[in-house]
Homo-oligomer: A and B are copies of this chain.
Amino acid sequence: MMLSALDLARRIERGELTAAAAIDLCADAIAAREGDIGAFAALDIAAARRVARERADELAALPLRGLAIGIKDIIDTADLPTEYGSPIYRGHRPRADAALVVLTRRAGGVILGKTVTTELAFLQPAGTRNPRNLAHTPGGSSSGSAAAVAAAMLPAAIGTQTGGSVIRPAAFCGVAGFKPSYKLLPLVGVKCFAWHLDTAGVFAAGVADAAFVAGAISGRDLRIDGAAPAPPRIALARTHLWSQASPAMQAAIDTAARLAEAAGARVSEFAPAEILESAWEAHAVIQDYEAFRALAFEYDCHRDQIGPLLRDLLERAAGIGAESYDAARRTTRRARQFLAERMADADVILTPSAPGAAPESLASTGSAIFNRLWTLMGAPCVNVPGLTDRSGLPLGVQVVGRFGRDRAALQAAHFVEIALARARG
């Protein structure tokens, strides 16, 4: 049973639970499961308890009411180590907190610890295991954030996505993941990989929990837990990658579409389009060109401490010229325009969160092929948990909204989530 951020906040609000007692729930789960899972890069439960006790009255009046929040370890914290998953930054203690850390505190969140990231938020796994099955990857790069929420060690955690690093681990671990519109959450003090792509997001038990936490941190009206969500207009996007989705994932998408339709949603087909396929390819050009510059210090000064996957990427990226990059940016602008027009009569797109369930491996975090395009489009994306494969591993379906319409995307995702839950009975 995961910890629902909304449920905990309501119980604290009603005086049925103290913030310190809610942190104890996290601490109990951490004592029981962290040894197996390895979701945390740094933890300070004692400090969190102290803050929750000493500032109880002040926190109780703030939206997050003292809830424990985890922060992906590529996000700077002044009072906890920040190692970016890289030996280059062993023992690093930044001078300042990232904006998101302070905004979390402003909203009444208490930072419980740093969650494990893959190396510099790229692909090299860092040892975290999937709470649903310890032999499987939790996904990456926000591995620890997804795993900690899935294992009830945290009600919510912050992560980031450049390719699929929020939606994929959320799908693999069976939690809600929300990657908002590009730049909705500030990235000041977050280690950069690719500045036109990096986007911060939120992990929580359910979609309404993630909306609640993201709304509190951003100071925006994103809450969707009031009324039941209205039936959305859904465009089912199989995309040109459909054949790369597992049979189980293909069935999951069809199931989600059917159940949403039965619950009142209007479901149409989103036909593949050449410009979106080109944009999908442009993602790699933009990511790699920018990474070669964003990680210039690491590459030029500490190359021997960069893992082989990232070193290979940067070596290849050195050859990408400004012309290719500019062409990829122009393709992106055209694709965004196309997508806005194509979605004029749909609220959201429904598409896989990942090619299938979490692979049985700790040597890879899985593939982001079903995420790159939407990250590049800057569109709000939500992983909706609720379906599983025959072995019981989660199969995440992805709801993609229109740029800047984050609340509508969350509402539609919540609608699908409710439809899936009803079918489970």
Interface of A with B (CB < 8 Å)?
78, 89, 92, 94-99, 101-103, 105-106, 183, 186-189, 192, 195-196, 218-221, 290, 293-294, 296-298, 300-301, 321-322, 326, 404
Q: Are A102 and B322 in contact (CB under 8 A)?
A: no
Q: Is A300 in contact with B105, judged by CB distance below 8 angstroms?
A: yes
A333 to chain B, nearest CB (A): 10
- If A220-B322, A322-B219, A404-B326 touch, whether A188 touches B294 (CB-CB below 8 Å) is yes
Give min CB distance, A71 to chain B, whole Å. 14
Nearest chain B CB to A211 CB, angstrom units: 15
A114 → chain B closest CB, angstroms: 16
Closest Cβ–Cβ distance, residue A362 to chain B (whole Å): 29
Most central of A78, A183, A296, A298 by chain B CB within 10 Å: A296
Q: Which of B89, B192, B321 contacts A188 (CB 8 A)?
A: B192
Which residues of B are found within 8 Å of A195, using beta-carbon distances?
Answer: 183, 186-188
Please tell me if the beta carbons of A293 and B192 are within 8 angstroms of each other in the complex. no
Q: Which of A99, A192, A322, A404 has the most CB of B within 10 A?
A: A99
CA distance A296 to B301 in the complex (A): 31
Distance (whole angstroms) from the CB of A401 to the closest CB of chain B: 15
Known: A322-B218, A322-B219, A404-B326. A186 touches B294 (CB 8 A): yes
**Chain B residue contacts of A192, Cβ below 8 A:** 188
10 shortest A-B CB distances, which residue pairs? A102-B296, A96-B297, A188-B192, A97-B297, A188-B294, A186-B293, A220-B322, A99-B296, A99-B293, A102-B297
Central interface residue in A188, A218, A404, by most chain B CB within 10 Å: A188
Can you offer 12 A-B residue contacts whose CB atoms are under 8 A? A78-B301, A92-B95, A97-B297, A99-B294, A106-B296, A183-B196, A186-B195, A186-B294, A187-B195, A188-B192, A188-B195, A189-B297
| A1 → B minimal CB distance (Å) | 34
Closest to A91 in B: B95
Q: Is the CB of A106 within 8 A of B188?
A: no
Contacts of A221 in B (CB 8 A): 322
The answer for the CA separation of A97 and B88 in the assembled complex, in Å, is 13
Q: Nearest Cβ in chain B — how far from A266, in angstroms?
A: 28
Q: Which residues of B contact A78 (CB under 8 A)?
A: 297, 301
Known: A97-B297, A106-B296. 19 other contacts (CB 8 A): A78-B301, A89-B95, A92-B95, A96-B297, A97-B296, A98-B297, A99-B297, A101-B297, A102-B296, A102-B297, A102-B301, A103-B296, A105-B300, A183-B195, A186-B290, A188-B192, A188-B195, A188-B293, A218-B322
For A189, the chain B residues whose CB sits under 8 A away are 297
User: Which residue from chain B places its CB closest to the CB of A76 in the assembled complex?
Assistant: B297
Q: How far is the CA of A106 from the CA of B195 in the complex (A)?
A: 20
Task: Please name all residues of chain B whose beta carbon is closer than 8 Å to the beta carbon of A103 when the two chains form the complex.
Answer: 293, 296
For residue A242, give the distance in angstroms from its CB to the closest CB of chain B: 33
**How long is the Cα–Cα vector from A192 to B195 in the complex, in angstroms?**
13
Bound form: Cα–Cα A297–B221 in Å: 23
CB of A97 to closest CB in B, whole Å: 5
